[in-house]
């Protein structure tokens, strides 16, 4: 493997000082399940790797705070998929985390790393978009709260300012009743990237949110406030054009190995209906 320096800061100011000192030569390390691959194949050539796992204040714990649930910068997928509060309030996030890689990968991979790498196929992105998550960042100019829909730009590019790091993700607890579901299309169960990701959320006021990915440069969030999609009694011919308009943001690449654009677009519609129906059923049953 290529040579690089390694730093293990113990505090956030120390980590920020290292980022300031090394600029674009610095790369942050949390779980490493993407980074170590890139270090080995040479697609990233950092001068210093800054390991965040010993930083005080970036603990892996999932914390319940006033009206919200907070994931830390080092919270791993495996803990998210099994956390009682996540399962209760944000089941689609638990589902998404449980789809990532394998148990071995999920024991290391972090949710924050997943969104910072900003892969269009990132499993946790659609549920975080549907739940209105906020990315907490800290940088030379202090702390910043970035709504997750303003965070993604394209693969490997986010709006996180240079010299900053993400300290956690906040999920506001739903104010009223909500039903939500995540599903994805893959070639096989286990250790595969998504060909289409889809999350649906329906609330008691009739608002439907859909977020989908792996069909364009970044995951997309769309919202229907008419109440039609959320209405279990609305006929399909009324729902279909609304759904069609909501899925119009998809523009899959013809160059991807995993699935052709026509197949992705066809399956996006299937997954959209499926996730929506599960979300409606869960709302009716009183599960988040």
By CB under 8 A, the residues from 82 to 121 that bind another protein are: 101-105, 107-108
Question: What is the residue-wise DSSP string for 255-285?
Answer: T-SS--HHHHHHHHHHHHHHHHHHHHHHHHH
Smaller CB separation from another protein, 35 or 165: 35
Smaller CB separation from another protein, 105 or 223: 105
Size of the site for another protein (CB under 8 A): 30
Rounded least distance, CB 184 to another protein, Å:
15
Q: Does 4 bind another protein (CB under 8 A)?
A: yes
Which alpha helices (DSSP H) does 35-136 contain, by range? 35-41, 77-82, 84-89, 91-99, 103-106, 111-117, 125-130
Smaller CB separation from another protein, 27 or 209: 27
Q: Looking at 29-37, 124-132, 233-241, 249-257, which segment touches another protein (CB under 8 A)?
A: 29-37
Smaller CB separation from another protein, 14 or 231: 14
Q: Does 56 bind another protein (CB under 8 A)?
A: no
Rounded (5°) CA angle 288-204-200 = 55
Q: Does 48 bind another protein (CB under 8 A)?
A: yes
Q: Does 78 bind another protein (CB under 8 A)?
A: yes
Give helix then strand counts, H and E, for the chain: 10, 14
* Residue 28 phi, psi (nearest 5): -80, 145
Distance between terminal CA atoms of the chain? 46
The number of residues making up the chain comes to: 288
By CB under 8 A, the residues from 211 to 270 that bind another protein are: none
Rounded least distance, CB 3 to another protein, Å:
6
CA 80 to CA 210: how far, in whole Å? 21
Q: How many angstroms from the chain centroid is the CA of residue 13?
A: 26
Helix (H) or strand (E) segment spanning residue 170: strand 165-172
Q: Does 144 bind another protein (CB under 8 A)?
A: no
Contact predicate 98/184, CB 8 Å: no
Smaller CB separation from another protein, 188 or 255: 188
Rounded least distance, CB 66 to another protein, Å:
31
Count of C-beta atoms within a 10 Å radius of residue 127:
29
CA 58 to CA 50: how far, in whole Å? 13
Q: Does 39 bind another protein (CB under 8 A)?
A: yes
Rounded least distance, CB 97 to another protein, Å:
14
Rounded least distance, CB 192 to another protein, Å:
9
Q: Looking at 176-184, 185-193, 201-209, 222-230, which segment touches another protein (CB under 8 A)?
A: 185-193
Q: Does 24 bind another protein (CB under 8 A)?
A: no
Rounded (5°) CA angle 106-173-217 = 55
Closest CA to 268 of 203, 202, 216, 201: 216
Q: Looking at 32-40, 112-120, 148-156, 239-247, which segment touches another protein (CB under 8 A)?
A: 32-40
What residues make contact with another protein under the rule CB under 8 A? 1-8, 29, 32-33, 36-37, 39-40, 48-49, 51, 53, 78, 101-105, 107-108, 189-191
């Amino acid at each position: 493997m290529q040579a690089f320096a390694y730093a293990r800061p113990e505090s956030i100011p120390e980590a920020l000082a290292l980022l300031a000192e090394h600029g674009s030569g610095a790369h942050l390390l949390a779980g490493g399940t993407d980074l170590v691959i890139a270090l080995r194949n040479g697609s990233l050539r950092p001068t210093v790797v800054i390991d965040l796992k010993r930083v005080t204040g970036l603990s892996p714990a999932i914390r319940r705070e006033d009206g919200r649930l907070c994931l830390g910068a080092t919270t791993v997928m495996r803990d998210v998929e099994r956390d009682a509060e996540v399962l209760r309030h944000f089941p689609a996030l638990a589902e998404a985390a449980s789809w990532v890689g394998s148990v071995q990968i999920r024991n290391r991979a972090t949710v924050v790393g997943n969104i910072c790498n900003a892969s269009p196929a990132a499993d946790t992105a659609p549920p975080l978009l549907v739940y209105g998550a906020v990315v907490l960042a800290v940088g030379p100019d202090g702390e910043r709260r970035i709504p997750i829909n303003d965070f993604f730009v394209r693969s490997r590019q986010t709006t996180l300012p240079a010299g900053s790091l993400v300290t956690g993700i906040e999920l506001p607890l739903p104010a009223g009743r909500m039903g939500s579901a995540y599903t994805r299309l893959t070639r096989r169960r286990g250790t595969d990237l998504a060909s289409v990701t889809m999350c649906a959320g329906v609330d008691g006021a009739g608002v439907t949110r859909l977020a989908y990915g792996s069909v364009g440069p970044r995951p997309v969030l769309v919202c229907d406030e008419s109440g039609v999609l959320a209405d279990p009694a609305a006929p399909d011919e009324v729902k279909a054009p609304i759904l069609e308009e909501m899925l119009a943001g998809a523009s899959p690449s013809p160059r991807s190995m995993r699935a052709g654009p026509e197949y992705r677009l066809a399956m996006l519609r299937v997954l959209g209906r499926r996730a929506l129906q599960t979300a409606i059923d869960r709302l009716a049953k009183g599960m988040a």
